[in-house]
Chains A and B, each alone.
Chain A
Amino acid sequence: MTELPTELPPELPPELTGIETFTTGADKHPLGKGLRPAFHALWHLKALGVVDDLTNFGGAWASHQPDLGVRVAVIDTPVAHDHPNLEGAIDLALMRDFSIHDEGVFVVPTDDGPIRAARERLVADLSEWTGEGVEDAKRTIEKETAKNDDRPYCRPRSFGAHGTAIAGLIGARPATVDLRKPTFLGEPEEPSDNHALPLPYAGVNPFCTIIPITTSASPDPDMVLAALQYARLIRPDIVVIAAAWEDHRHRKSRWAKVDKALLALCRDSLVLCAAGNSGDIDLAYPACLSVEPDGPIAVTACDTAGNVLAYAPDPKTNDRVLRTLSSWSEAYSSKGVIRDPWKAVDPMIVQPAEDPTMEGHIVDRPAEGLIALDAPGPYGYNPSPFRYRPSGKGPHFDIGSLYCQFSGTSASTALAAGLIGLAIQDRWKSRKEAKRPKDLQPGKAVLTYAEAQKLYS
């Protein structure tokens, strides 16, 4: 047994506990091939200038108020609205799913409380709602609000991972959950099986309200059209579309009505579309509509220095393409090499450093990657080993299934929505006359919190 100290120090010095301050320095962690330095899950908030440091989290959030939060519609796969870090972030009344029916279905059944009240306000707006196919949708919304809808409700199950990650990067809040450890694995000093566990995760704008509008991966123009029409009805400040609805090069005329509806939505709300992850081939659809006058704004991915990442498009002739942070990935092409310096090396494969044509063109990727929320339990990108599906505050059996690594221009689009939302709220907070959210002219800005503020100054 290790020799124990015999005197109680008056106060435990930080260097003894090693937990008073957190650094991402490699000195605290084992290193070697196959092992990476640890990093703080919220490192990107500091890199984007949202917080000054990862100890006290001072910075852009100071004096922000929840009642001045922007409303962000997320057209994506479903959002796990009962994820503990999304408590208070989701508009449960207006969240609507279009993956099962073209007319849509409210994910949360109508109650006799605030959800019904919010839907009755929506019903009052229906008379002004026009567009292809909205008459059926109007009737359905009225029936659902009056609790006369007899269709089966759809519950987000296995496929809510992407939407949940997007929502979390935009507007997650820290939370505390009930964690249950199996008794045979508990610490000897544990007084009980359950204890409160903090989940210190937050999105860029933890004051906004997110309205999930669900579509599936199916390239179905009718479904997408219905989702866009609904987005117009609920009048969000920002709309996030981090999806490719159809292969841009094979898009057929049946998508023309979707183009028209998206451009109509852009007249009312700021629409941000992920540029796609096909490298320098072209922008994904619908981000490619950013070339249209008053079209959406495409968002591509860059590193902390503003360099466009290997998988992200960088259109030279399009002025409506923002770029902001995302995770790196490895690449090996004639343009150069992005290498993971911590990856275990296979001795049978020639490494970039041994390739004379790559001399001077090798860049090491950083250890940090974006961490996002994941659908809890045995679903999503990072499924729990337990079949148990926790709800809300728990009890939870593990925390791994609540989070996942995330990347791509989808992640950048979510971060951009968070940053722009914060900048809009700044203007509202100071009662300065702000441009309308949709009036932003992005140029080719590399988006941080400070740059987002300039866009609205």
Chain B
Amino acid sequence: MQADEIQELLSGSALVIDNAIIRVEDRGEAKRRLEAAFKTFLLLRDRTDLALDDPLRAQLLLAAAMIEKFLSSRSALALSVSGALHKGLHKGLHKGLHKGLHKGLHKKGTMGAREMQGIGSTEYSWPEIDLPWKHHALLHRCRDAFRWDRLPLPPPPPDGDRLGETKRLLVLQERLLAPDCADRRRRIVLEAGNDLTAYMQPLGADVSAPYGATAMLFQLIVSLGGAIGQHYKARFMAVRPPVLEPDLRPFLPVPGHSSYPSNHALQSWLIAEIFARTVPEHPGIPALFRAAEEVAENREWAGLHVQSDTIAGRKLARMAIPVIEAVLDDQLAAVRAEWY
């Protein structure tokens, strides 16, 4: 596009921001319409012979209505096509300010480790869902379009390497029993059942501001992500760390399905990634990513996964984003509406 063409297009009309409305004022077109209306009006106003159903009479009435509209509101006649600029727009960019806001919200939902001792599902009861059969049906209908069952996830390392990884788990196992790890132990138990507290708290959600659509989205991601993860678990059939290293004493019961990739890592990273894409620049997003990382790592502390399982879960989460976004499109809209 040449400079003179740009200048001509810009000078022919104007984008105007008027409070919460953005509109295009096309100066030339509006003027032409007004002139045409005046001409029509002057030509036809003295025609007393026009029948009720005469098209000319309809034209006269339209012209009169247009002039009337102009006189009552001149801005309305400018070819004014408008849209709303929502009041909550882009609020996240002022991170400094919104961190302040976030802190205020956070106080209600965050407690010290001692205060949290008694917290269970009764204090933080997030919405629960039955099996989301419609979404699962859609996920499977999308299989060939998104090839989510054939994503290029590398196979797990051989058992010898995975056995090497369990050395770290033995160290974590000892540390977990220390008194200062009481809070981590409590969270490991809570997260075993896919409780949403770890993800909701960084966003400023608690019982008084539960953000139901967001909680519902996270539940859906847990369910769909779990299904995708199970597909790869069944494919690779990697044994759990306690099978490789009998000295491991898992903190939780060992699940019956295989180890690679970690579904908790997959689900928690999917939650963080999808939320960050849905509500851009929510001030809690960095904390949400940290929470996702911790939920994934806690499964290593519990002796249920080696690190390569966790890394694979995270990789798979990134690759599964397109299909999850497609399947949950409606829910993403509901979440956006909840925060903006």
Interface residue ranges, A against B (CB under 8 Å): 1-2, 4-9, 12, 17-20, 22, 28-29, 35-36, 38-42, 54-58, 61-66, 77, 88, 99-101, 150-155, 157-159, 161-162, 165, 173-176, 179, 188-189, 197-202, 206-207, 216-219, 247, 276-279, 281, 310-311, 329-331, 369, 371, 378-384, 387, 398-408, 410-411
Q: Does B97 contact A (CB under 8 A)?
A: yes
Q: Are A399 and B75 in contact (CB under 8 A)?
A: no
Q: Does B285 contact A (CB under 8 A)?
A: yes
Q: Please, how many residues of chain B have a CB less than 8 angstroms from a CB on the other chain?
A: 89
Q: Which residues of B in the span 8-23 have a Cβ within 8 Å of any Cβ on A? A: 9-19, 21-23
Shortest CB distance B135–A (Å): 17
Q: Are A219 and B289 in contact (CB under 8 A)?
A: yes
**Which of B15, B42, B272, B318 interacts with A40 by CB under 8 Å?**
B15
On chain B, the residues within 8 Å of A279 by CB distance are: 96
CA distance A303 to B15 in the complex (A): 22
**Which of B7, B21, B89, B333 interacts with A58 by CB under 8 Å?**
B7
On chain A, the residues within 8 Å of B329 by CB distance are: 157
The residue of chain B having its C-beta at the shortest distance from the C-beta of A181 within the complex is: B81
Knowing A8-B42, A42-B10, A217-B285 are in contact, say whether A22-B280 is a contact too (CB < 8 A).
no
Q: Are B86 and A155 in contact (CB under 8 A)?
A: no
On chain B, the residues within 8 Å of A40 by CB distance are: 14-17
On chain B, the residues within 8 Å of A158 by CB distance are: 277-278, 325, 332, 336
* A2, A152, A281, A383, most chain B CB atoms within 10 A: A152
Which listed segment binds A: B126-134, B146-154, B178-186?
B146-154
On chain B, the residues within 8 Å of A411 by CB distance are: 93
CB-CB contacts of B77-91 with A at 8 A, as 1s and 0s? Answer: 110011111100110
Shortest CB distance B108–A (Å): 20
Interface residue ranges, B against A (CB under 8 Å): 1-3, 6-7, 9-19, 21-27, 30-31, 33-35, 37-39, 41-42, 45, 62, 64-68, 71-72, 74-75, 77-78, 81-86, 89-90, 93-97, 99, 146-148, 150-152, 269, 272-273, 276-278, 280-281, 285-286, 289, 318-319, 321-323, 325, 329, 332-333, 336-337, 340
CA distance A185 to B217 in the complex (A): 35
The residue of chain B having its C-beta at the shortest distance from the C-beta of A400 within the complex is: B83
On chain A, the residues within 8 Å of B24 by CB distance are: 197-200, 399
Q: Are A17 and B97 in contact (CB under 8 A)?
A: no
Q: Are A20 and B2 in contact (CB under 8 A)?
A: no
On chain A, the residues within 8 Å of B12 by CB distance are: 198, 200
CA distance A18 to B94 in the complex (A): 36
Shortest CB distance A173–B (Å): 5
List of 8 A-B pairs having minimum Cβ-Cβ separation, nearest first: A400-B83, A159-B277, A41-B15, A174-B9, A408-B93, A217-B276, A38-B18, A57-B7
On chain A, the residues within 8 Å of B289 by CB distance are: 217-219
Q: Are B276 and A198 in contact (CB under 8 A)?
A: no
On chain B, the residues within 8 Å of A406 by CB distance are: 90, 93
Q: Are B94 and A218 in contact (CB under 8 A)?
A: no
Report 26 cross-chain contacts, Cβ distance below 8 Å, ordered by A residue.
A2-B71, A12-B34, A17-B27, A18-B78, A19-B30, A22-B25, A41-B15, A150-B150, A151-B152, A158-B336, A162-B281, A174-B10, A188-B65, A189-B62, A198-B26, A200-B15, A216-B277, A311-B95, A311-B96, A378-B333, A381-B89, A382-B85, A384-B83, A387-B333, A400-B84, A403-B85
**Contacts between chains A and B (CB distance < 8 A), count:** 270
The residue of chain B having its C-beta at the shortest distance from the C-beta of A378 within the complex is: B333
Q: Are B86 and A382 in contact (CB under 8 A)?
A: yes
Knowing A38-B16, A99-B318, A206-B1 are in contact, say whether A12-B31 is a contact too (CB < 8 A).
yes
On chain B, the residues within 8 Å of A22 by CB distance are: 14, 16, 25, 27
Q: Are B333 and A55 in contact (CB under 8 A)?
A: no
Q: Are A77 and B62 in contact (CB under 8 A)?
A: no
Q: Are B39 and A329 in contact (CB under 8 A)?
A: no
On chain A, the residues within 8 Å of B17 by CB distance are: 38-41, 369, 371
Q: Are A188 and B62 in contact (CB under 8 A)?
A: yes
* B71, B86, B94, B325, most chain A CB atoms within 10 A: B94
The residue of chain A having its C-beta at the shortest distance from the C-beta of B95 within the complex is: A277
On chain A, the residues within 8 Å of B78 by CB distance are: 17-19
On chain B, the residues within 8 Å of A217 by CB distance are: 273, 276-277, 280-281, 285, 289
Known interface pairs A378-B333, A407-B94; 12 further A-B residue pairs with C-beta atoms within 8 A, sorted by A's residue number = A12-B38, A18-B78, A19-B25, A40-B16, A41-B22, A159-B276, A198-B9, A329-B94, A383-B336, A399-B81, A399-B83, A403-B85
Q: Are B10 and A405 in contact (CB under 8 A)?
A: no
Shortest CB distance A284–B (Å): 9
Knowing A173-B1, A381-B90, A407-B93 are in contact, say whether A200-B319 is a contact too (CB < 8 A).
no
Q: Are B42 and A56 in contact (CB under 8 A)?
A: no
Q: Are A247 and B13 in contact (CB under 8 A)?
A: no
CA distance A173 to B9 in the complex (A): 9
Q: Are B325 and A189 in contact (CB under 8 A)?
A: no
Q: Are A64 and B3 in contact (CB under 8 A)?
A: yes
The residue of chain A having its C-beta at the shortest distance from the C-beta of B30 within the complex is: A19
Knowing A38-B17, A179-B81 are in contact, say whether A55-B11 is a contact too (CB < 8 A).
yes
On chain B, the residues within 8 Å of A405 by CB distance are: 85, 89-90
On chain A, the residues within 8 Å of B319 by CB distance are: 100-101, 151-152
Q: Are A157 and B277 in contact (CB under 8 A)?
A: yes
**Which of B3, B31, B71, B97 interacts with A63 by CB under 8 Å?**
B3
On chain A, the residues within 8 Å of B3 by CB distance are: 61-65, 207
The residue of chain A having its C-beta at the shortest distance from the C-beta of B26 within the complex is: A198
Shortest CB distance B75–A (Å): 7
CA distance A379 to B277 in the complex (A): 10
Shortest CB distance A457–B (Å): 22
CA distance A19 to B24 in the complex (A): 11
CA distance A80 to B148 in the complex (A): 24
Q: Are A398 and B83 in contact (CB under 8 A)?
A: yes
Q: Are A403 and B97 in contact (CB under 8 A)?
A: no
On chain A, the residues within 8 Å of B148 by CB distance are: 152
CA distance A100 to B316 in the complex (A): 9
Shortest CB distance B183–A (Å): 20
On chain A, the residues within 8 Å of B276 by CB distance are: 159, 216-218
On chain A, the residues within 8 Å of B11 by CB distance are: 55-57
